[in-house]
Structures are given as C-alpha cells and as structure tokens.
A and B are shown apart, each in its own frame.
Chain A
C-alpha cells in the first residue's frame, strides 16, 4: 500500500472519500425510493451508505481520543439500536406513520442537541465563535427543536393520545406571532452580543413554537405535516453540518430538506389543497364545523345484515370497494381480497377506489392491499375511479369515512371542504362497514351515512367481511 503514492493518502482523506461515497449512496437511494421497481433496493443502498459513513467516522481521532467518551458513545449506539430495531420491526402497519413521526422527531432532537453541545464546548474552551457560527448553531437549535416538539405532538395525535381534530383557542394567531417575534429578538440579541445566555430562551421558545404550530393541524393533514417536519429535520442536520464543518451532514441534510419540501407540496397537491391552506386553515374554520357535528349524532341510520348485503353484492354488475383506515385497523386486507375473488368468480366487475390520503398516510391502502397480493390493476386512483362511480351498483366503503364525505363538496366551512373525495354517493347503493358511529379522523359527521341509498353494517371489518364472503358464496 505504501508503495503506491496515490494510496498513501492520510486517513482523513480516505474518510472524506468514504463520506463522498455515502453522499452518492444517499442520492441513489432517494432516486430509487422514487420508483416502484427500485424502492426497496434504494432504501438498502441508503442504509449501506449510512453504515459506511458511521463506520469511517470511528477512524477520526476526535471520536476515540478519550476512552470514556468512546465507550459512552458505543453504549448509546447499542442502546439506540436495541430500542429502534424491535420498535420498527414489531410496529403494526397501522401505527407506521406514528413511528416515522417519532424517528423524525428524535433526529431533530439530536441535531438540536449537537448545536447546543457545540456552543457549550466553545464556551468551556473560552473561544469566541464568529457571528456566522452562532447563527448556524441557533438555526440548528431552532429548526431541530421545532421538529422535535412538533413531531411529538403529531405522534400524540396519530396515536390518539390527544384529540385528532384541530385544536384552536382564542388569539391563536396572535400568540403564535408573539412567540415567533420573541425568537427573532433573542436570535438577534445572541448574534449582536455573542453571549451564550440567549441560547436557552431560543431553545425553550422553539420548543413552544413546535407545539403551537402543530396543535391546529388535524385529521388527514397530519401526514403532510410529518413530511414537512421531516424536511425541517433535514435542514437542522444541514445546519449542524455547517457547525461541525462536515460536508456529509450538509449534503445529506439538504437533500432531505429540499426533497422533503417538494414531497410535502406533492402530498398536499394530491389532496387538492395548498400547503398554506393545510397549515393555517384550521384557524377559525373549526368553530362552525364543530357546531354542525353535534346535532346529527342521534339521527337514524339504516343498518343491514351480512346476508342481505351479500345478496346485493352477488347480484350486482359492478362493485367498487372504497377502503380506509378501518381496513388497516381490522387487518382485513386478506379477507377483502377473498371477497373480491369470490365476487369476480361470480362475474361481478370489482375494483378498489383508492383515495390518495386514505388511511393515515398517503399510499397506506396500496401498501396494505399489496400485502394481500391484490393485483395492481384492480386498484384505481381517485381520478380514475370517480368517473366510474355513477355506473357502480354498490360502493362498499370499508372503514373509510372522511374520504367519501360529501361535505367536502357541498359544505363550505367544513374542515375538509375543498378536499377531493371519492364519489361513493354516486353509486346506486352504498354500504358502510363501520365499527361505530364515531366520526372519522377529521372529527366531523358524514351526511352520506344518513342517505336513503346507504345501509350500514356495524362491527369489526374483518368479521363482517368474513360473513359477507360466506353470504356471497351462498347467494
């Protein structure tokens, strides 16, 4: 090795080269994740790149200079992996969005802590950082902390530890603006005076900002929010890259920050909404919607029996299945495929109408039905499905609610007004499989449940579908 001059580079150069390879790996990974064929490979490439970069980081004398620090670092990594792997492996499909929120939040937290420690480090060394260095640290703290506390609230909402609907209170916008202004003031003070003391109010206020930013966002908008927070964490990581003079962190963080913002826009576009609309529309709008939700809860609905619905399905020409979160909760994807197969065997034309944000994350239904090996060509996206709804004999709504709620079309002031929906209401008959009369994720009632064309089958979606399979076979 020493004979070749090209190979006798210092170790630090090898490390930088390894980081460069990791950067290429991350770009390839993102590219792969954007294509159905290569998504899984893409993710593995990303994981390999991360492993390479972390491995080479241990060749840095900074990391192993002090035994205690090195041992503590290794213990922290082992502990982290010991928590993360089982958590990620055992989490139910339904809980994956929460899981992403958590992993995103801790990443933001890590970036914020890095910035804080770097500031403390300068302080303890007695070095006075340059203004741009303080700015980098404050940016890392601000964005990372907002991402951390915001993700925590998003997690609590998705896990239903707190109300999923938007939370509003008087003078919300004024309070948010005041917190924002206060952060700006403390950032300026820190930059002008160079004092470490202003770091703490920035940290505390950023935490508050993350919370109050997320509180008024609810319902189907939460996944879009997580995407935005994911992008924030990327930027926080890039900021810590600036602080630590590390190209890898700058590039990886920026890649995620930039692609995350584009992805967030694509997601909100899939819902037919603009991003500002999603982030700020709850202010004020909810008051009217909450009023509307109360009066309707004890109205009569028509419930039916699996036998009747089975007959209806078996003698239909065209059946459209509209899946939603309830399908995921009941883990009923295999049974719904069984039902589809038996209907098809009887010559019924069946397809699935997939709303882009059905479930708790975009693509949730596709993932779920793919698991049950439902052929791709039976899944129709909303735009493709809607023109066919009026020719359908039966729309079988399995655990969906908000995504078929006509209020999105005809009730201005409803939190979901303007969201594109699957027009289940245009089918000749509508059958809802529901656990209860509880409203959907958006926390609003659905007029379609009370429609003359609608019947309800109460109970766990899996049980009910199983009964329907039997009923169809006997019909």
Chain B
C-alpha cells in the first residue's frame, strides 16, 4: 500500500515535466510532436512483455501475444513514421534557402534509424 503513494508521487511529478517540456513547441512541429509522443507511449511493449512472461493458459497466452504484437506496432511504427515526417525538415530553416541551390549543403538525409 505504501507503493501506491510513491507511484502517485512519480505520476504527479511526471505530469508537470510533461507539460513543461513541450510548452514552447511551434505550430509547425505540432504533428511531429504528436507522432513522436505517440511512439513514446509504445514503451507499453515493456508491460506487454512482462504480462506475456507470466501468462498461464490459452486465453492469457493469446491476449499476451496480442498485447506484444500491438505494442510493437505502436513503438516501431511510431518512431519510423515520425522520422519520415522529420526527414522533411532538413537542416535549419535559415540555411534552407542556401540548401536549395547547393543541395548537398547540410548533410545527407540519412537512413531511418529504426527503433527495435
């Protein structure tokens, strides 16, 4: 029972950090931020793996399998889609004008560093 209060404390602190950390996002980044935070909650995969490990009987195994599968979709797909979105924002806005003329200016687009 002491655990729950500790967890609530962590919850409240994390909520404040969450609000603080994105408070200055410009509107062009609204969608990538949404997509990136979507990928972050894909970490629910850790929970799915724990639940799968202790699953007993067919019903729990099937549901556990489903949870792991869905969570993997979330975390892997989430990071890859966000990366593709952000690939469009090459370099700093200021030197994009130059980059138009000398296309190779600020680094190759690079491959997706896909999450595992």
* A contact residues vs B (CB 8 Å cutoff): 22, 26-27, 29-31, 33-37, 39-40, 42-44, 46-48, 50-51, 53-55, 57-58, 60, 62-66, 68-70, 72-73, 75-77, 79-81, 83-85, 87-89, 91, 96-97, 99-100, 102-104, 106-107, 109-111, 113-114, 116-118, 120-121, 124, 130, 132, 223, 226-227, 230, 233-234, 236-238, 240-242, 244-263, 266-267, 270, 356, 361-364, 366-368, 370-371, 373, 375-377, 381
Expressed in whole angstroms, the minimum distance between the Cβ of A296 and any Cβ of chain B is 32
Are the C-beta atoms of B73 and A253 separated by less than 8 Å? no
Are the C-beta atoms of A107 and B19 separated by less than 8 Å? no
In the complex formed, the residue of A with least CB distance to B26 is A36
Are the C-beta atoms of B28 and A110 separated by less than 8 Å? no
* B contact residues vs A (CB 8 Å cutoff): 1, 3-4, 7, 10-11, 14-19, 21-57, 59-61, 63-90, 92-94, 96-97, 99-100, 103, 112-116
Are the C-beta atoms of A80 and B70 separated by less than 8 Å? yes
Provide the main secondary structure of the chain B interface.
helix
Question: A253 to chain B: which residues have CB within 8 Å?
Answer: 41, 43-44
Q: How far is the CA of A119 from the CA of B18 in the complex (A)?
A: 29
14 A-B contacts (beta carbon < 8 Å) = A33-B32, A33-B37, A57-B46, A62-B54, A73-B52, A80-B68, A80-B73, A100-B31, A120-B63, A251-B10, A253-B41, A361-B30, A376-B94, A377-B97
Are the C-beta atoms of A33 and B78 separated by less than 8 Å? no
Question: B82 to chain A: which residues have CB within 8 Å?
Answer: 33, 43
Question: A132 to chain B: which residues have CB within 8 Å?
Answer: 1, 4
Question: A250 to chain B: which residues have CB within 8 Å?
Answer: 7, 10-11, 14
Are the C-beta atoms of A375 and B96 separated by less than 8 Å? yes
Are the C-beta atoms of B114 and A249 separated by less than 8 Å? no
Are the C-beta atoms of A33 and B71 separated by less than 8 Å? no
In the complex formed, the residue of B with least CB distance to A32 is B36
Expressed in whole angstroms, the minimum distance between the Cβ of A97 and any Cβ of chain B is 7
Are the C-beta atoms of A30 and B14 separated by less than 8 Å? no
In the complex formed, the residue of A with least CB distance to B15 is A258
In the complex formed, the residue of A with least CB distance to B46 is A57
Give the contacting residue for A62; candidates B4, B50, B96; CB below 8 A. B50
